[in-house]
Structure 1
């Protein structure tokens, strides 16, 4: 059973795919060549699904950090006889100031690992167990001068190693001693069977790739990391995480690089998050703007509009999510041969929510367009027509029930958040009417906007709950109602809005003060079991409190949520309300987006208070 705590993992990225490395120096998750490709190392989900570990052979303690302004990981092992440093990265292809905006272009699809002895001597053990196709394949290992190859399925892995490897069938291992000043480099590269003959990389070449990668991250950070408000280091790091979750060839930003890390240990709420959600668009664009990533914001918006453009019409609702290359069919299946993290099955690939109706998506895309208004002046006629069609679709579909932002698998409902985002769609479309050359539609959009607003105010409020609630006629609280203040539907200090904020702070939080999405015991989501508190929702609470002028409370809520980042600043989706452990897919873009946006809200609230 795989049971390494989620918090013990670190993210590596080349802006095409990602790896997760444990505190013990084991690569337990790697999909290549894309985020959503089958895993080569999958021990994250099953002990037998493959790993690549490098660590001292004897007892040790370990500390780790990212090298300054990078996603290059350094793990330091302290043993009774010496100190060993392990440096890990997925290689980037560019360095130099002129390439600062091109992070992730020209990557060699190469994982690089360096070990150096920094004191005394250390006996080191290497274990290499590739398992392609989510652990289904046990590849054939063959020797190669300076390394070995692993062949299985339609691809080939080449491991470059400066030390001899003992191997049997599909596993390889080595032990070697390093003394102070010694340094060795290892590399793993994927190629298809149709490509040219495999090659190994020399020590000098691998060391060069590491230097290029460190430099590329630092140049990118220098050009992008200029937020100087409160918690600027957290905001800057979260910006790098979002960059690390970006699929550079298309501009897509994935929700997380993992699948099936559960929302409850032993539960069934295990989903594949290696895709890009329309739902995330407006939140993501705002966070990228705060984190000073305008090019990435424009790329993400272009990806979204391109992926979605052919999938909307009078009888065709907008699809809610896409593959990283813009793929539409994300059909879900289970992998019964994998036990799942801490026996939390089933393990799923694909995501069955791809063909749900969620009417909030129109507002999210138009809100994203509104944030990029200054970059839209030269948009082509097709994009203008698409954005106009989004607003028209919001008019038609705002009266329909849907599955909501949380993608319930129960009966569709008239969710308040979904209606709110239809209002946002129309509000932003009206603001963009000149750019969209759609001034003639403004009267109709304005009438529909007024109608949906009146319905939210009338049917979304519950006297019994003393708050705006999850769906029309419900008394259940839902953290997404905090967005009513964040998107500007109501002032945060308007009496009913403030009552909703306080109700969520008082009745939708655990004893740690972290916020649930909603109470799962209501049964509205059609799933068994429960889930943890949501870090994104807790950051929403901080943002709403800041907008209401409760700046000190907002800062307290922010710090409460941010404190759950692991030792290298990464956030998961949820926190176990009993143990305080991380739950859900990791690292979670939504959580880092929430952190950035909440920090900005507190910064702006402090500025207003000082005037």
Structure 2
């Protein structure tokens, strides 16, 4: 791609300078300058058609640019919605871009609605639509639609669906796609609708779709039962989690993107567009807390249909189990961070913690009045029996290390949780199970963790049995009700984590320079989820004022829209895939815990 005025000054905007829109089948990231820089089509885990975030030249984008050289931008959501406004402010006046996707039943009904509005003054605005199909491997073939309606944007390889751009602007067809210069006056509304050319069978009237989309989101937001001090931040996190949840399948992806680095220029660049059992289970816990039982019910349907016969770490959105990892070597990566990976090699790892996290969510679902049928219970029993037989096995742990299996603390705790919660479900529902056997094994796990995962020299529980490595996942021990928040050994562990794994309110999951090994090169930033675990723990141990300050300082690391990626870098920048479900669900949980203690 030749250098054009649409290029960013240093070719890449910061990850955080984006908002997200979506239709519960896929999402798009819209930059603060009004450019769609990332979008997969037609599904979360489909190939990209816009991917400028991962390659400034080959990725593709859909951008607007005011010609005035002094243009400043501002971005915001309409309250209680995922409708995004981007404003262009210059000496010429004010222009405004509204972006949303209608909420539709089928993936084939995909559409992005973009309205350019002249608020005040007169503007000259360039527009460029430059898709790059199949992760940037293919270009695009643009042409006038033979039936006279708009322009067709075809995949040269014929793999991905043809897009249709509907607009009243005369566009110039180029090798890169479509381009035009718009003369925008005060009061003008110029609409661009990007949809699929597979027979448009839903209403494409702009105002009708805008009204319907806004109604959907405001009604959904109104169901949020959180009424605490940080309602705006909690609701924005809930709206982000909802955007990451498939309407068709009920599964929730870990993040909207793939390949974004955990360290600038580093190689820790993973594909998070899949459904991790762990992440999705925690997400359902957040939804249940907020009163969104329907999302939990849909996830349980997906679990029953796709996963109960063979539980693995992660799945594609539709339940596909083979997520073979590969590197897209033709992409330069965000700011040169390679490799850019799709698929995820951890899909066939052994991680015992997922049993506890899933069964804990089923337990909470049951408490909320969810249905536990006989067939579902039989499947749960099979999972528990696997834990009873294999809880002593080594695994790859919550952080999916690639340095070999160990007896990880968090995995052991979650094996205890799996049995404990299943026993509680059985007791509540009077369901048949070998209660005495389960209790015996549960008690054995507890005794081993209490005695054998304790490091006397460090005065702390450690990452895995026999190690001298601190791990922030130990913060979950009271959150999962394995220990009391006043347990002396855990309090000493908390002190050790606070002393050795923190930088003010930022918490690192472990420190490679302190002996941790994960089999990967380079270091990483602080994990947002660990910081919010830290907040919860502070509240639980009675340091409520400190918990409040830490929480509010963590909110300051969110972007201008309240969105968070996976990590906070050592320069305060957001790193990793964006937005990240883990970060937002843990924010919700931390806010709840503080409010609970206040009351």
Band of TM-score, shorter chain: over 0.9
User: Where does residue 37 of structure 1 map in the other structure?
Assistant: 46
Are 1:186 and 2:192 an aligned pair? Answer: yes
Alpha-carbon shift at residue 396 of structure 1 (Å)? 1.0
8 Å contact 1:384–1:436 — kept in the other structure?
no
8 Å contact 1:508–1:515 — kept in the other structure?
yes
8 Å contact 1:492–1:545 — kept in the other structure?
no
User: Where does residue 51 of structure 1 map in the other structure?
Assistant: 61
- The equivalent position to 1:471 in structure 2, one of 456, 464, 473, is 464
User: Where does residue 535 of structure 1 map in the other structure?
Assistant: 528
- Measure, in 1, the Cα distance between the counterparts of 2:227 and 2:384: 36
Query: 1:225-244, aligned counterparts within 5 Å?
Result: 225-244=224-243
- Measure, in 2, the Cα distance between the counterparts of 1:128 and 1:106: 21
User: Where does residue 4 of structure 2 map in the other structure?
Assistant: none
Alpha-carbon shift at residue 158 of structure 1 (Å)? 0.5
**3-state SS of the aligned residue for 2:434?**
helix
User: Where does residue 216 of structure 1 map in the other structure?
Assistant: 216
Q: Deviations over 1:564-596 (max 9, x none)?
A: 11011101100112x110000000000000000
Alpha-carbon shift at residue 378 of structure 1 (Å)? 4.1
User: Where does residue 206 of structure 1 map in the other structure?
Assistant: 206
Query: 1:419-434, aligned counterparts within 5 Å?
Result: 419-434=412-427
User: Where does residue 84 of structure 2 map in the other structure?
Assistant: 73
Are 1:520 and 2:498 an aligned pair? Answer: no
User: Where does residue 120 of structure 1 map in the other structure?
Assistant: 121
TM-score, with normalisation over the residues of structure 1?
Answer: 0.92
- Measure, in 1, the Cα distance between the counterparts of 2:436 and 2:555: 44
User: Where does residue 165 of structure 1 map in the other structure?
Assistant: 171
- Measure, in 2, the Cα distance between the counterparts of 1:15 and 1:439: 38
User: Relative to structure 1, is the Cα distance of residues 200 and 444 closer, same or farther in structure 2, using a 3 angstrom cutoff?
Assistant: closer
User: Relative to structure 1, is the Cα distance of residues 480 and 442 closer, same or farther in structure 2, using a 3 angstrom cutoff?
Assistant: same
User: Where does residue 100 of structure 1 map in the other structure?
Assistant: none
8 Å contact 2:254–2:280 — kept in the other structure?
no
Q: Deviations over 1:265-292 (max 9, x none)?
A: 1111110000111112442222112222
User: Where does residue 585 of structure 1 map in the other structure?
Assistant: 577
8 Å contact 2:153–2:177 — kept in the other structure?
no
- Measure, in 2, the Cα distance between the counterparts of 1:128 and 1:79: 23
Identify unmatched segments of 5+ residues in structure 1. Answer: 94-103, 312-317
- Measure, in 1, the Cα distance between the counterparts of 2:370 and 2:190: 53
- Measure, in 1, the Cα distance between the counterparts of 2:252 and 2:263: 25
8 Å contact 2:279–2:581 — kept in the other structure?
no
Query: 1:27-426, aligned counterparts within 5 Å?
Result: 27-47=36-56, 48-59=58-69, 60-93=71-104, 108-144=109-145, 145-152=148-155, 153-154=158-159, 155-191=161-197, 195-196=198-199, 205-222=205-222, 224-311=223-310, 318-374=311-367, 378-426=371-419
User: Relative to structure 1, is the Cα distance of residues 299 and 539 closer, same or farther in structure 2, using a 3 angstrom cutoff?
Assistant: same
Q: How many residues align?
A: 582
Q: Deviations over 1:362-408 (max 9, x none)?
A: 10111011101146664333211111111111111110000000000
User: Relative to structure 1, is the Cα distance of residues 150 and 440 closer, same or farther in structure 2, using a 3 angstrom cutoff?
Assistant: closer
**3-state SS of the aligned residue for 1:372?**
helix
Superposition RMSD on alpha carbons, in Å? 1.8
8 Å contact 2:469–2:516 — kept in the other structure?
no
Are 1:462 and 2:473 an aligned pair? Answer: no
8 Å contact 1:159–1:200 — kept in the other structure?
no
Alpha-carbon shift at residue 320 of structure 1 (Å)? 0.8
Alpha-carbon shift at residue 460 of structure 1 (Å)? 1.1
**3-state SS of the aligned residue for 2:417?**
helix
Per mean C-alpha deviation after superposition, the further-off stretch among 586-595 and 461-470 is 461-470
